[in-house]
Structure 1
Amino acid sequence: MAGLSVEETLELWASSLRAAKARMRPLFTQARVATSAERFLDGLLGEERRKTGWMRAEAAGDPGPWRQQAILGRGSWDADALRNIVRDYALDTLADPEAVLVIDETGFLKQGHASCGVARQYTGSAGKITNCQIGVFASYVSRHGHAFIDRALYLPKAWTDDLERRTRAHVPETVEFATKPALACVMIERALLADVPFSWVAADSVYGVGAIEMALRRAGKGYVLGVSANHSFTSWAKPHAVSGTARDIAGALPPEAWQRLSAGSGTKGERLHDWAYLDLADLDAGEFNADFHGVWTRGLLIRRNISDGELAFFTTWCPEGTGMDTLVRVEGHRWAIEDSFETAKNELGLDHNETRSWHGWHRHVSLVMLAFAMMATIRHHANAEPPKKTMRRMPANPG
């Protein structure tokens, strides 16, 4: 950790862990259950590569995994309340009005058919159709760092329409089928209701059109949302008319329309691509919400890979005059959630959940989110610039 001694690093870790445990302690009515939950968190943050019940139990000094399993299954506590605690805990450190809310999904590979929501479905985690669960996540990304603040387990219709499977997995009766974009909409609305400070939403093409766009326009939030190459765009009241699919529009652009820009720093340096942007229409924000004023612009952002020319397309919504470099930066924030998935799986056991129930999945994932938020908090404080030392003015010599 930059600029910290070993002693300072250990104290920062210990104080952050105490704070995280204190946040979740009120969820548990019995002291022994709270202690088990704290040991569960210790296990997630431990050095063991596999965060199984037996591994966590061994690290906690328990004779078996039963206490660890009870936290996810038999115990009585509210995983959604922990989700809210994690969100508020993360925002205490990461909050920034210019933050980006990033929506994405990840797969949890499974064998068998009993785990809640499992089905043969496509997951980008494996790059193919395979037997897995799909979780949709919202990550809060700001100049201070990034952390998960919401999550939802996607249930295919084969699950929501099957009463026997629902009963075995303890799926609440109130849960109905919802598409992934619908789950994302709920998470965005939840963030708005909680007054989470953010100015933008970024997501890939699964979430790029429809209800999410309208919800964000009504909320006065900008967006950079992926769309397919076949998505149609039309301009109006612009000097140069644009109409057609995203792919055709990109193909007709002259060479001077492209700029090489960085979408942010990655593990291998600046993530450079060629970009083009077309503003398609200017609209009054008051058309979507009478409380908002000013002109906003609907546009098309196009990314071209430098090495192979592969194209990606994004529908955008932003205040009039927003530069392409800002939209590129917002799109680049999606990298943070990909990094978060990798870290949470490799280091915190995000995909090591052994329970099969609805509650087990949400409890396990929420505890991992707390561990991740704690690490984000530590990283921010460790990397914060130390206060500048000032020379104390000596008093004048009375003699």
Structure 2
Amino acid sequence: MARIAGRFSRVEPRATARAYLLGLLSHAERKNCWQPAEQAGHARPGPMQRLLRCARWDADAVRDDIRAYAVEHLGAQGAVLIVDETGFVKKGRASAGVQRQYTGTAGRIENSQVGVFLAYATSRGRTLIDRRLYLPEQSWCSDPGRRQAAGIPETVQFQTKPRLAWEMIAAALDAGVEAPWVTGDEAYGQDPQLRAALEARGTGYVMAVACSTRVRINSGRTTMRADTVAERLPASAWQRHSAGNGAKGPRYYDWAWIHIGTDGHRHLLVRRNRTTGELAFYLCWSPTEVTLAELVRVAGVRWSVEECFQAAKGQVGLDHYQVRNWTSWHRHITLAMLALAFLTALAADAAPDRPIDPHHPARGSDPITLTVPEIRRLLVVALNPRPCQRPGSCTGPHGSDATKQQPAAATTDNGQLTNSLDRSRNRTGVLVRYKSFV
């Protein structure tokens, strides 16, 4: 909190922001304004709602603090910026940016909001460092009444998702974030303007593209579909590489790369599933010569953003909000990102000094790497935060006592969790960092 305290001009919103963050880090099953209010001992969620809607503080400035904090604690060579989006399924038409649109969260078209995010990933960890709420052009940008009701500033105009992604990337680079690579899925890799902007900035990229993407081979003399190029590759062109560790160890695929264009810095990267034969394609550019192994590493890092979304939604309530206002959305999302960055930094600090060999099973005496969910559970167990005890307080929106809806602090496997923290590199440091944070 000391890092962002200066972003709040008054004591009350500063204290409320602290309480809100503690609620996001707590064991509460749902983390909208009601549950953080209960955690803080408030009879009603009013202070939390004011924090998100009308209190005077700059969420973008706090976002800048999160970005600096992430680089400070996770920074390492070969950092990668990852652009991606996630959906927030909603009811009704009042929430800023909501409409029926495809969201990967549901895997289909749903009434939802879509946020475009930027993640920062290194060998030490990964976390979200920026966010933009996508505002659909027809249903929102062209409807003044709807915009006003949702509190959307007049300065906010329609921008494509790749354009929002570029704004976040440029802001990170302008702020001094040292990240030689950017990666993203097809929604962003297919955009030529985004790729051109990255090249103009001198930032390398490994961007997923469709199989129908046309590329220039033979020193730019021949244009061909990416999948056709892959079909004509000889067996000797394929090499086995790991795209990084998964839940069961290294994720091995067959990879091939083809020089495209007229210089030596542009490639088509092809990934082949060793079991199904399914292909994936990436357009790559780098300001200097690189190895196939480096391009494979960057392509594999892209999945880190999915882990960020999973942790943010599952651990700190990224999608638990019940707000409709433009400003409120950005404020809740920003505070959830701060909570996630803090947990990620704790996990990085608690990690063993030496890397664990994924090819050999861990021994009981080996140092272990704690995950973000484990770190959060350990903090809940170790510090045992108490819910408010005032009779009749924290009545939920349907008249039920919210305290009855909350699970008790996790006690299952407490001994195992404590042993895990003891086997991590810095048990005391984790708790000290937590106390200094709050």
- Give the TM-score range, shorter chain: 0.7 to 0.9
Matches within 5 A, 1:18-167: 21-157=1-137, 158-167=139-148
Query: Which residues of structure 2 form unaligned runs of 5+?
Result: 354-424, 427-438
Which position in structure 1 is the counterpart of 2:186? 205
2: CA distance between counterparts of 1:237 and 1:32? Answer: 64
Deviations 1:163-202, CA, capped at 9 Å, x for gaps = 1111001101100000000101111111121111110000
1:219 corresponds to 2:187: no
Which position in structure 2 is the counterpart of 1:355? 323
SS of the residue corresponding to residue 378 of structure 1 reads helix
Letter in 2 for 1:161: S
Which position in structure 2 is the counterpart of 1:372? 340
- Alpha carbons 2:253, 2:274 under 8 Å: kept: yes
Letter in 1 for 2:155: T
1: CA distance between counterparts of 2:6 and 2:230? Answer: 54
1: CA distance between counterparts of 2:106 and 2:274? Answer: 25
1:169 corresponds to 2:169: no
Letter in 2 for 1:338: E
2: CA distance between counterparts of 1:124 and 1:161? Answer: 26
SS of the residue corresponding to residue 50 of structure 2 reads helix
Deviations 1:209-236, CA, capped at 9 Å, x for gaps = 3111111111111100011111100124
2: CA distance between counterparts of 1:54 and 1:196? Answer: 36
1: CA distance between counterparts of 2:341 and 2:352? Answer: 16
Matches within 5 A, 1:286-365: 297-365=265-333
1: CA distance between counterparts of 2:262 and 2:226? Answer: 19
1: CA distance between counterparts of 2:276 and 2:140? Answer: 40
Letter in 1 for 2:261: A
Determine which of 350, 355, 360 is the counterpart of 1:382.
350
Which position in structure 1 is the counterpart of 2:161? 180
1: CA distance between counterparts of 2:305 and 2:288? Answer: 28
- Alpha carbons 1:201, 1:224 under 8 Å: kept: yes
- How far 1:308 sits from its partner (Å)? 2.1
Letter in 1 for 2:28: E
Which position in structure 2 is the counterpart of 1:390? none
- How far 1:317 sits from its partner (Å)? 0.4
- How far 1:242 sits from its partner (Å)? 5.3
SS of the residue corresponding to residue 23 of structure 1 reads coil
- Alpha carbons 1:152, 1:183 under 8 Å: kept: yes
Determine which of 221, 233, 253 is the counterpart of 1:273.
253
- How far 1:384 sits from its partner (Å)? 4.5
- Alpha carbons 1:242, 1:280 under 8 Å: kept: no
2: CA distance between counterparts of 1:69 and 1:121? Answer: 28
- Relative to the length of structure 2, the TM-score reads 0.78
Equivalent residues, number: 353
- Alpha carbons 2:257, 2:269 under 8 Å: kept: yes
SS of the residue corresponding to residue 296 of structure 2 reads helix
2: CA distance between counterparts of 1:305 and 1:50? Answer: 38
Identity of aligned residues (%): 44
1: CA distance between counterparts of 2:308 and 2:278? Answer: 25
- Alpha carbons 2:217, 2:224 under 8 Å: kept: no
- How far 1:259 sits from its partner (Å)? 1.8
SS of the residue corresponding to residue 111 of structure 1 reads coil
Letter in 1 for 2:208: G
- How far 1:127 sits from its partner (Å)? 1.0
Query: Which residues of structure 1 form unaligned runs of 5+?
Result: 1-20, 284-295, 388-399
The runs of 4+ residues in structure 1 deviating greater than 6 Å are none
Letter in 2 for 1:233: V
Q: 1:314 to 1:207 in 2, by over 3 A?
A: same
- How far 1:310 sits from its partner (Å)? 1.9
Deviations 1:298-325, CA, capped at 9 Å, x for gaps = 1101112223222211100024541111
Determine which of 243, 246, 249 is the counterpart of 2:226.
246
SS of the residue corresponding to residue 281 of structure 1 reads coil
2: CA distance between counterparts of 1:308 and 1:110? Answer: 36
**Coordinate RMSD, CA, aligned:** 1.5
- Alpha carbons 1:113, 1:119 under 8 Å: kept: yes
1: CA distance between counterparts of 2:227 and 2:53? Answer: 49
SS of the residue corresponding to residue 105 of structure 2 reads coil
SS of the residue corresponding to residue 171 of structure 2 reads helix
2: CA distance between counterparts of 1:24 and 1:192? Answer: 21
- Alpha carbons 1:103, 1:138 under 8 Å: kept: yes
2: CA distance between counterparts of 1:133 and 1:268? Answer: 33
2: CA distance between counterparts of 1:237 and 1:29? Answer: 59
2: CA distance between counterparts of 1:105 and 1:206? Answer: 9
Letter in 1 for 2:203: K
Letter in 1 for 2:214: S
